[in-house]
Amino acid sequence: MRLAVIGRRALSGVVVLVGVSILSFSLIQLLPGDTAAAIAGDFATPEQIEAIREQLGLNQPVILQYFTWLGHVLQGDFGTSLATGRPALEMILEAVPPTASIALVSLTISTIVGLGVGLLAALNRGRWVDHLLSFLASISISAPAFWILLLMVLFFAILNRWLPAVGYVPLSAGFWPWLSHILLPAIALSFTHGAEIARYTRGSVIDVLAAPYIRAARARGARGGWLAGRHLTRNSAIPIVTVLGLQLGNMLGGVIVVESVAGINGLGGFAVTSVLSRDYIALQAYVLFAAVVIVIVNLIVDILYTIINPKVRS
């Protein structure tokens, strides 16, 4: 049963990727006027326009163009950047480490804080602790990540010089130099996502605490760690795992603004540069790459869901 569920999820992911590939391919086809001229810019010579037309195969029928392009993509050829002349996938892979570092550190922080805050609020439902934590979570959700990052940079980097303000250092240069450069962006990004996780955790734990089997366990004298380990943790984790997958997908969008403020050349900077330079091939590759990552993340979440959810296992 578990393999059947995972197989259906994987098949639906493939369908999504096919749809995204059509939309990505349409980025080129839907440009107004002459596609090659629109890509080349206002000052391109006829020879340059014709070279772009030949490079993209725009002289062929649209259906043939799509399947030719898709065949190259399946072989790892996402096209050549019009701005740099380099393979688009190679440029994307170079931009992955900064973005992945920020996203993973941010997800770790938001998960730990969100689960702790949500559990504390649920166990103190209706008390001042619950009201205070819920109020702080609402503020965190409303605060833009770039605004939080600017305040943190002002205090930690400019006024006190405890952490660097901008830039990125790879992990190979040392753990602390790497962490110090991504810590502020990761924390700023984790405010909203941590608050979302806290709210879902609170609601999930409250629902589990109200379940009949929890009341029956309490009536039999179950208390503390046994109750949390046997029933509360596993059953409340079912919706939380789904939320974690969604939050990781949302981070790919939020990290664009954070990277721009922090001066980090990750996937966000790559996307912005591609738009500003009218590098539609690179932008096309970015959209498809991001879709693949999100589909893989959702598939992993579905696998975890089948592991922790007894209804799916049966």
Q: Can you give the pLDDT at residue 238? A: 67
**For residue 231, what is the DSSP state?**
I
In a domain, 129, yes or no: yes
Q: How many domains does the chain have?
A: 1
Q: Can you give the pLDDT at residue 297? A: 82
Helix 233-262, helix 88-123: angle, nearest 10? 130
Q: ∠ CA(110), CA(165), CA(150), 5° rounding? A: 60
Cβ pair 110, 251 in contact under 8 A:
no
Q: What is the CATH number of the domain that holds 276?
A: 1.10.3720.10
Integer Cα distance of 184 and 169 in angstroms = 14
In a domain, 18, yes or no: no
Q: Can you give the pLDDT at residue 32? A: 61
In a domain, 206, yes or no: yes
10-residue mean pLDDT profile of the chain (314 residues): values are 73 86 79 66 74 74 84 86 85 91 89 87 87 90 87 89 87 90 91 87 80 69 56 64 72 79 86 83 88 84 73 56
247: containing domain: 97-313
Q: Can you give the pLDDT at residue 292? A: 87
In a domain, 293, yes or no: yes
In a domain, 15, yes or no: no
In a domain, 53, yes or no: no
Q: Can you give the pLDDT at residue 224? A: 54
DSSP notation for 270-308:
HHHHHHHTT-HHHHHHHHHHHHHHHHHHHHHHHHHHHHH
Q: Can you give the pLDDT at residue 179? A: 92
Q: Can you give the pLDDT at residue 314? A: 53
In a domain, 265, yes or no: yes
In a domain, 13, yes or no: no
Cβ pair 171, 101 in contact under 8 A:
yes
pLDDT by residue (tens digit) across 210-268? 777 666 766 666 665 545 555 566 666 666 777 777 777 777 777 878 888 888 888 88
Q: Can you give the pLDDT at residue 221? A: 63
